A and B are shown apart, each in its own frame.
Chain A
Amino acid sequence: MTSERFEPRIVAFVCNWCTYIAADAAGTARARYSPNVRLIRLMCSGRVDPQFVMSAFEKGADGVMICGCHPRDCHYNEGNYKTLRRYLLLKKMLSQLGFEDERLRLEWISASEPEKFRRAVEEMTEHVRKLGPVKENGGK
């Protein structure tokens, strides 16, 4: 690893039933991905309080991911629809605050998609690496 390369820190909130299992499966398959993304397990992506996202940025995250079951597949029927609504509002809010809204990403990753999980982590890491660190005062 070159010391010049920017290594973003990314927090991923994942649901217990789909994406966490996909992440486990990625491990079992020995999929290789960059270590920048750290998972926080919740029962449902619908538990992601917008404050968690803002707090992650405040505490130094360069990117945040929210991952849950695909639409119609939520273990709790419709928790992920609530996630989607909050995600869209959060995106809006982030850009109003001067953040690049791509620093927040929503991904539906089912338990059967370890490869999608790996890809999502890699893409997010690369993307945020290009964006660079969050600038003071959210980029303004």
Chain B
Amino acid sequence: MTEQEIKIGVYVCDCGTNIAGVVNVPEVVEFAKGLRGVAVAREYKYMCSSPGQDMIKKDVRELGLNRIVVASCSPHLHEATFRTAVEEAGGNPFLSHMVNIREQASWVTSDKHEATEKAKALVAAGVARIVHHTPLERRKVPVRDEILIIGGGIAGIQAALTASDAGKQVYLVEKEPSIGGHMAKFDKTFPTLDCSACILTPKMTTVKNRHNIKLLSYSDVTKVDGYVGNFKVTVRRRPRYVDEEKCVGCYECIEKCVYKEARFPSEFDLGLGKRKPIYIPFPQAIPQVATIDPNTCIEFKTHNCKKTCVAACGDRNAIDFDQKEQIVELDVGTVIVATGHKIFDASKMSNYGYGKYPEVYNALEMERMFSPSGPTGGEVVNRNGRKPKAVGIIHCVGSRDENYNTYCSKVCCMYSLKMAHLVKERTGADVYNFYIDIRTPGKSYEEFYQRLLGEGVNFIRGKVAEVTEVAESTEEGKKLVIVAEDTLLGTIRRIPVDMVILSVGLEPQPDKEDVRRLLNMACSSEGFFMEKHPKLAPVATITDGIYIAGTCQGPKDIPESVAQGEAAAAGAIALTSKGFLTLEPNLAYIEEELCSGCQVCIALCPYTAIALDKEKKVAVINDVLCKGCGVCVAACPSGAARQKLFEYDQIMAEISGVLTI
């Protein structure tokens, strides 16, 4: 196409007042009209709306435009929208380009004149660049429809069941001996006070029974290669020293263990309960298979145990002290990350006495205490076995706090209310909730709060300064005293209690960085995995084919985690249901006539996608392996390596463009 034939349409979006409130859009339009190759420039209120897109389509058809520049928001939001519009009008989608004058100009520049000048420079760059665009074809690649789900908490379980319902092969990888996650540790769920195990266990059992869900518990994902639709995943299965296929979960080995009493802290009960070296973490565990902890098992420590467990297992022969870790390779099309959260470590706030006073518990420990299958059989008692007469619940521990996490952990108000109810129900104790604000948005949540107010639970508005055993009166003797300013009364309150519950917030998992790197995701500043768009793509990530669900994305409650699990599964299914995918054409390629065969590019490619054609003595790029980073292109001394959509002349034109003003 010669330059005379280039007809560019420039469309400058008001984005309501988002852009037009700061940038003088008519001035930008006038400026665009004066740029070389521009046949038409228009302003519109919302370019992404149907009428906005129709405007482009109409101009393409009627004015014969062959290049489109849209100056609006980030291409991460609407690049696809405008490419599709151009395509629907009969043009090549890659003859369009987006210029970001919202996130990069109107939203970040206070001065209207400066914002307008910057917008003009960016538009000039877009127009200069688009001249050098050429029609491109999208690549079509076949996709697999198997789904890998990392994390077997409620979000991962729900995703697995949804995908399984759709007939997809699912691999569910869980690092713990059992699936269930945090929800399995809870006794009751708010606001309905449903029994957590009663609603979760059937789902866990279904996971186990589905022929198209392969559960890989006690395992970690160690490597993910490939690309959307064609990931190659390596899973490490840690040895549990019990053959999963042979174990029937009869508990006989556990009963017959040489340790007559359970004496090692149970991870599942957060150390409040004890387990033996061979154990099943909780009665409803899935898989219902014993696990041996080599750090406490005498056979592993001395090789001289009587091995009563082996005798108890008998013909089933499930115990295998020589079991080795196994590496499993999986081919999947999509990955759902549902790795959950950890709770805030309350010992960081020394003024609350966690770890110092045995009567101070974190909320998850309390959940285990409430559980009928937990360490106290559901009784609310202190470590000394006594029932508390007064209990303090401190909200926002580690949350909404400049020193720790500034964000609200969202679920703590509701679970604190639930705990207040349960404590009162089971002990009749006086319960004091210390809160900053009570936040109960959600269906039937505010009603639950109102119910608690009617139950005689005390609410004191104020951030707790400290929990101390230093008594100032006889009434306070041998008690823990919660000191807080009651901001509604404007006085300092000292409330003596027998038990303190810390409503700890939710934090990202400690291995978040490893998981993020493994899957090429991003984390937001608090460390939760970042969604592709906070409003419109809440379970997708910046990497195609990778989805997130549950609390790994941010604090949320069970129904929200379930909804995200389903949403992520639906996303994964939708992506792969056609059997093929179209991928961006932005790959590197070699202009053979210019290539001298120097092979500089070959060594630089991170994907070993480049090889030397020995006959022609030129480099050849493998389309399937190339991911389009452009590292080879920048290094090629002869300009033979090129990249579609990021061509040398396109970028050079863009540089000139941004510097016109």
Within 8 A of A (CB), among B599-634: 604, 606-607, 627-631, 633-634
Contact with B along A69-99 (1 / 0, CB 8 A): 0001101111100100010000000000000
Give Cα A30 to B109, complex, Å: 9
Known: A17-B542, A24-B103, A35-B109. A47 touches B658 (CB 8 A): no
Closest to A12 in B: B658
In the complex, chain B residues whose CB is within 8 Å of the CB of A75 = 520, 543, 629
Q: Is A32 an interface residue (CB 8 A)?
A: yes
Q: Which of B517, B606, B659 contacts A73 (CB 8 A)?
A: B517
Give Cα A114 to B628, complex, Å: 25
Q: Which of B234-242, B390-398, B644-652 contacts A (4 or more CB under 8 A)?
A: B644-652
The reply to whether A59 and B654 form a contact with Cβ atoms under 8 Å apart is no
Give Cα A17 to B654, complex, Å: 19
Give Cα A75 to B629, complex, Å: 9
The reply to whether B104 and A39 form a contact with Cβ atoms under 8 Å apart is yes
Q: Which of A23, A43, A50, A113 contacts B525 (CB 8 A)?
A: A113
The reply to whether B102 and A77 form a contact with Cβ atoms under 8 Å apart is no
The reply to whether B104 and A27 form a contact with Cβ atoms under 8 Å apart is yes
Give Cα A76 to B646, complex, Å: 16
Within 8 A of A (CB), among B99-118: 100, 102-105, 107-111, 113-115, 117-118
Q: Which of A27, A35, A44 contacts B114 (CB 8 A)?
A: A35
Known: A21-B76, A111-B522. A27 touches B103 (CB 8 A): yes
Known: A47-B630, A82-B631. A32 touches B108 (CB 8 A): yes
The reply to whether A79 and B655 form a contact with Cβ atoms under 8 Å apart is no
Q: Is A20 an interface residue (CB 8 A)?
A: yes
Tell me the count of chain A residues lying within 8 A, CB to CB, of chain B. 53
Q: Which of A1, A35, A56, A113 contacts B655 (CB 8 A)?
A: A56
The reply to whether A38 and B76 form a contact with Cβ atoms under 8 Å apart is no
In the complex, chain A residues whose CB is within 8 Å of the CB of B629 = 43-44, 46-47, 75-76, 79
The reply to whether A52 and B530 form a contact with Cβ atoms under 8 Å apart is no
Q: Which of A11, A24, A77 contacts B658 (CB 8 A)?
A: A11
Known: A49-B633, A76-B629. A42 touches B542 (CB 8 A): no
The reply to whether A59 and B75 form a contact with Cβ atoms under 8 Å apart is no
The reply to whether B643 and A47 form a contact with Cβ atoms under 8 Å apart is yes
In the complex, chain A residues whose CB is within 8 Å of the CB of B41 = none
Q: Is B74 an interface residue (CB 8 A)?
A: yes
Known: A27-B102, A56-B659, A60-B659. A38 touches B121 (CB 8 A): yes
Known: A39-B104, A43-B586, A73-B517. A112 touches B525 (CB 8 A): yes
Closest to A26 in B: B108
Q: Is A104 an interface residue (CB 8 A)?
A: no
Q: Which of A9, A23, A77, A78 contacts B104 (CB 8 A)?
A: A23
The reply to whether A32 and B110 form a contact with Cβ atoms under 8 Å apart is yes
Known: A21-B542, A33-B108, A47-B629. A52 touches B652 (CB 8 A): yes
Closest to A56 in B: B655
Contact with A along B525-537 (1 / 0, CB 8 A): 1010010001000
In the complex, chain B residues whose CB is within 8 Å of the CB of A33 = 108-109
In the complex, chain A residues whose CB is within 8 Å of the CB of B534 = 28
* Shortest Cβ gap from A47 to chain B (Å): 3
Known: A32-B110, A76-B606, A113-B525. A86 touches B658 (CB 8 A): no
Contact with B along A22-66 (1 / 0, CB 8 A): 011011101111110011111110111111100110011100000
Q: Is A18 an interface residue (CB 8 A)?
A: yes
* Shortest Cβ gap from A69 to chain B (Å): 9
In the complex, chain B residues whose CB is within 8 Å of the CB of A24 = 74, 76, 100, 103
Give Cα A77 to B627, complex, Å: 11
* Shortest Cβ gap from B589 to chain A (Å): 14
* Shortest Cβ gap from A122 to chain B (Å): 11
Give Cα A30 to B110, complex, Å: 10
The reply to whether A40 and B74 form a contact with Cβ atoms under 8 Å apart is no
The reply to whether B107 and A21 form a contact with Cβ atoms under 8 Å apart is no
Q: Is B524 an interface residue (CB 8 A)?
A: yes
* Shortest Cβ gap from A114 to chain B (Å): 8
A-B complex: 5 closest residue pairs judged by Cβ atoms: A27-B103, A47-B630, A76-B629, A111-B522, A46-B631
A–B pairs, 24, beta carbons within 8 Å: A1-B111, A1-B113, A9-B659, A11-B659, A21-B542, A27-B102, A28-B534, A31-B108, A32-B109, A33-B108, A35-B105, A35-B109, A35-B115, A38-B122, A39-B104, A40-B655, A42-B646, A42-B651, A43-B629, A46-B631, A55-B655, A75-B543, A79-B629, A111-B522
User: Which residues of A does B touch, CB under 8 Å?
Assistant: 1, 9, 11, 17-18, 20-21, 23-24, 26-28, 30-35, 38-44, 46-52, 55-56, 59-61, 72-73, 75-79, 82, 86, 110-115, 118
